[in-house]
Amino acid sequence: MKRGRSSLAAILPFLWLAVFFAFPFFLVAKLSLSDTALAIPPYTPRLDWSQGLAGVRAFLAGLDGETYARLTKDSLYLSAYLSSLRLAAEGSGLLLLIGYPIAYGISRCPPRVRQALVMAVILPFWTSFLIRIYAWIAILKPAGVLNAVLHVVGLPPLDILNTETAVLLGLVYAYLPFMVLPLYAVLDRQDESLIEAAQDLGATPLAAFWRVTFPLSLPGALAGALLCFIPMAGEFVIPDLLGGSDTLMLGRVIWTEFFADRDWPAASAVAIVLLATLVVPILLFERQQAKVLS
């Protein structure tokens, strides 16, 4: 009885993964190996079950890597790919620079203040992500809040909406909690007596931070950076709403291929390439998590 229940508990996550990850993944992988066609759905070959085994064979014969070859020929894909990774890397770097002092500051506060501040970090999740990004449009647009403030202070206006700067701003804003929380978790767990021991042995407070607090927080920093980098590389909404026509990110390329060009194989191939690129950081993240949790 008990055994039956525990094996069911083991099967459930696999079932979940099979239905919501493996199956869609194979669908996308298959699409990426198909050819574009003017049909509904717009690709060939299609599996014809009525032909039996011959149908399956014909279907398999129709699959090829032609779409991937096409991706290498158009420099648009490569530059979108590189600029996605670059923006995600820049975003992660900025997030580290901004998130670390925030997480450190929170971890130094008295317990009750700490709880309130962690709450404040999570609070933005209570409103819709989309609305928050639209709010940035209102802030950044030429006659928006930002320029009104700049005008009052006597500074020249900034026209950054629909630029890469706005995308980076949006990325950093949206992903900040994902950087702060893992960092805060490791900093908060750090044994206070380690800092005292460092100071006792002659380390100034600054030296104690660099020699003890900081190296011990690196797993949290890496976890936060990966947690942000992975989804940022495939981000669609932020570059679409805040970026301009020159902001090339893979998320937008996939959208365009799928909905504007109706080129499902190309969209799928781009998605597969992105996924393959992210497997390395995802595995790194998993390993890091295992280490942090141990």
- Phi, psi of 44, deg, nearest 5: -135, 160
Task: Kindly tell me the burial class for residue 209, based on how many C-beta atoms sit within 10 Å of its own C-beta (0-12, 13-18, 19 or more).
Answer: middle
Q: Is 201 in the site for other proteins (CB under 8 A)?
A: yes
Whole-angstrom Cα distance, residue 192 to residue 187? 10
Q: Kindly state the number of chain residues that form the binding site for other proteins, as judged by CB under 8 A.
A: 19
Q: Is 261 in the site for other proteins (CB under 8 A)?
A: no
Whole-angstrom Cα distance, residue 259 to residue 279? 26
CB of residue 205 vs other proteins: minimum separation in angstroms? Answer: 8
CB of residue 229 vs other proteins: minimum separation in angstroms? Answer: 24
Among positions 48, 64, 74, 191, the unique one binding other proteins when judged by CB under 8 A: 191
| Choices 3-11, 173-181, 205-213, 270-278 (CB under 8 A): range interacting with other proteins | 205-213
Note whether 278 and 234 are within 8 A (CB). Answer: yes
Closer residue to other proteins in complex, CB, 13/110? 110
Closest CA to 173 of 114, 115, 216, 237: 237
- Phi, psi of 81, deg, nearest 5: -60, -50
Closer residue to other proteins in complex, CB, 208/249? 208
CB of residue 222 vs other proteins: minimum separation in angstroms? Answer: 14
Beta-carbon contacts of residue 64 (< 8 Å; ≥ 6 apart): 33, 35
Report the Cα 110 to chain-centroid distance in Å.
32
CB of residue 210 vs other proteins: minimum separation in angstroms? Answer: 12
Helix (H) and strand (E) counts for the chain? 15, 2
Among positions 30, 70, 132, 211, the unique one binding other proteins when judged by CB under 8 A: 211
| Choices 198-206, 233-241, 245-253, 271-279 (CB under 8 A): range interacting with other proteins | 198-206
Among positions 103, 169, 183, 212, the unique one binding other proteins when judged by CB under 8 A: 212
Among positions 197, 261, 279, 291, the unique one binding other proteins when judged by CB under 8 A: 197
Give the position of tokens 């501040």. Answer: 117
Whole-angstrom Cα distance, residue 259 to residue 253? 10
Enter the tokens of residue 146.
């930002």
| Choices 91-99, 203-211, 256-264, 282-290 (CB under 8 A): range interacting with other proteins | 203-211
> Alpha-carbon torsion 193, 197, 203, 209, what sign?
negative
Q: Is 113 in the site for other proteins (CB under 8 A)?
A: no
Among positions 72, 75, 128, 193, the unique one binding other proteins when judged by CB under 8 A: 193
Binding site for other proteins (CB under 8 A): 191, 193-194, 196-205, 207-208, 211-212, 215-216
